[in-house]
A and B are shown apart, each in its own frame.
Chain A
Amino acid sequence: MAQTQIPRKIPAVTLRVLRKNPAEQSKRRFDSFQVPVEPGMTVLSALLYAKEQFDHSIAIRYSCRMACCGSCGMKINGLPQLACYTPIAELGKTTVTVEPLDHYPLVRDLVTDFEGFFAKHDSIKPYTIRRNQTEQETATSEFAQSSRELEDYLQFSYCIKCGLCNAACPTFAADADFIGPQALGQAYRYVADSRDEGARERLSLLDSSQGIWRCHFAGACSFVCPKGVDPALAIQRLRRMVVSQPKRKSAPLLTRPNDMKA
């Protein structure tokens, strides 16, 4: 949770925006804009100010402006953050540098491609699985859950799919085939849900060299999460669940060591 102190005021910032359009094969460059800072102004507001007043062609993706939609993740002064959820005053600097997230293909300027990200998210089956399919589709009663059981997974359900965790992950930087902290955190969100019965199929999927065993436990994912989700903890818990399974065969070793980059 953020601090309660009111951030100190700064009158203006130099906003340095990374510009590049791969389709036009333009050179990577930084454009600088002087933006007057209003109290409570976020990096997103400053970017929109620059776009509206100085250069209409800045490419930026955003929607809700309140850390719900997960669209405006970018590197702000070197750290993956949501532009809409980073007050300029909180940065405490007179220069703010914004760049696209690492580990995602660049679409243009600050916009990155999330297709691969969502494919990984989808691969862990991010929905409740019940053994009784008929009952799941045409339920005759509620799948009741106590508030204690809710707590088992609640923080992990706050994931807004902004992808900051994958951008911050040093393992991801070295190995693009790693499923990544976001998908693993979400796998745990369902496995830990008392209404879910899909633990076995999810765990067997993740018990692999590019799954839970690839994580080196740097913890960068949990550090950058804007919603207080702790994917690093989720991965540790998934590991415990996997090794506690009766009759588990040991995970296959890396079958394609040449795939490892860096």
Chain B
Amino acid sequence: MKRYAPEKLDLASRDVTSRAMITEIQEGRGLKDEASGMDHLLLDLRHLGAEEIKERLSAIREISIKFKGIDPIDEPLPVRPVCHYTMGGIRTDLRAETPIKGLWSAGEAACVSINGSNRLGANPTAECLVFGAQAGAGAAAHAMSQPGNDLDQQAVAVEEKRLFDDIFHGKGTENPYEVHNQVQTLMDTFAYVYRNGNCLKEGLAALRELHKKAYRHVNDQSKEYNTNFVNVLELESMFEIAEIVLVGGLARAESRGAHARTDDPKRNDQEWLKHTLTYRTTDGPRLEYVPVTITSYQSAERHY
């Protein structure tokens, strides 16, 4: 890590570490896993010594031994960057309330913007404990003060039709689990650690093509604990989120945090110090932007 973060070394932030790893792999200093064919690097923890690994990294050691048969005390671990967390989400305020009346959101589904363009370690603790509590208290207070509901019954009927007529009783020839894997591979190919305008455009076209596949059907027709139905609904949502990531990343012609574009490698505060908001339309996501609220701490580029 000396080449990438001379002072912080291995303690550099996730985006910096991911880019360092991918650069090493792309420049031919990676390894290939025999069984899976996956490119990876080796993480050597041996200099920490058995004592410290056992005390400080017991969970990491346990998992390495269990899943890979490798004890990090004796051998380096195969590692590669993967999707770990989604910085974006349903927009909420500090009370975990969304702009939609009666809807609260917390955790990884939400975006209170405590992360900005890069997730910081331990921030999700605040998301669970602080904003989870806010959401629960807020939603409960709201529910107690609103005995009935004023849902738009027509909208409910439309959603019911989508869920049950179009999906639960839908017809199709494609295996939704295979389409699910294809979405993952597609996003890994076109919107990975490094992106550029061309690959994001290509990815968007490929995603829209994939979305036409006939996977909207549920083989499991039971009403009890039907994860098949849930999985197909999740796949629908994955398409929507993937499209937002591609469209939002394509528009944002700069590099910031986890969004690293090889065709626009510089951070551009003049034009892009702003949050992307997306709205669902029949033609795909519509983008809007809102300014970043800066309080005590000035926003600055990360240097090591």
Residue ranges of A at the interface with B (Cβ–Cβ < 8 Å): 1-7, 21, 23-24, 38-40, 42, 51-53, 55-57, 59-61, 66-67, 85, 87, 107-109, 111
Instruction: Evaluate whether A66 and B69 lie within 8 angstroms (CB atoms) in the complex, with A56-B228, A59-B226, A60-B227 already known.
Output: no
Q: How many A-B residue pairs have CB under 8 A?
A: 66
CB <8 Å contact, B68 and A40: yes
Task: Count B-side interface residues using an 8 Å CB cutoff.
Answer: 25
A56 adjacent to B220 (CB under 8 Å): yes
Contact A40 B220 (CB under 8 A): no
Kindly identify which residue among A57, A61, A67 contacts B222, using a CB–CB cutoff of 8 Å. Answer: A57
Whether the Cβ atoms of B225 and A61 lie closer than 8 Å is yes
* B175 located at the interface, meaning its Cβ lies under 8 Å from any Cβ of chain A in the complex: yes
CA distance A109 to B224 in the complex (A): 10
> B residues engaging A (CB < 8 A)?
35-36, 62-63, 65-69, 71, 74, 175-178, 218-220, 222-228
Do B220 and A1 have beta carbons less than 8 Å apart?
A: no
Interface pair B66/A108, CB less than 8 Å apart = no
Contact of B65 among A2, A61, A111 (CB under 8 A): A2
* CA A42 to CA B176, docked complex, whole Å: 22
Q: Which of B74, B175, B220, B225 has most chain A Cβ within 10 Å?
A: B225
Given A4-B74, A38-B35, A52-B175, decide whether A59 and B65 contact each other with a Cβ distance below 8 A: no
Q: How far is the CA of A66 from the CA of B68 in the complex (A)?
A: 13
Flag if A40 contacts B224 (CB, 8 Å): no
Chain A residues, CB < 8 A from B66: 2, 67, 85, 87
Which B residues lie within 8 Å of A52 (CB)? Answer: 175, 177-178
Residues from chain A with a CB closer than 8 A to the CB of B177 are: 51-53, 56
Look across to chain B and name the residue whose beta carbon is closest to the beta carbon of A24. B222
Shortest CB distance A256–B (Å): 33
- Contact among B36, B65, B219 with A57 in the assembled complex (CB-CB below 8 Å): B219
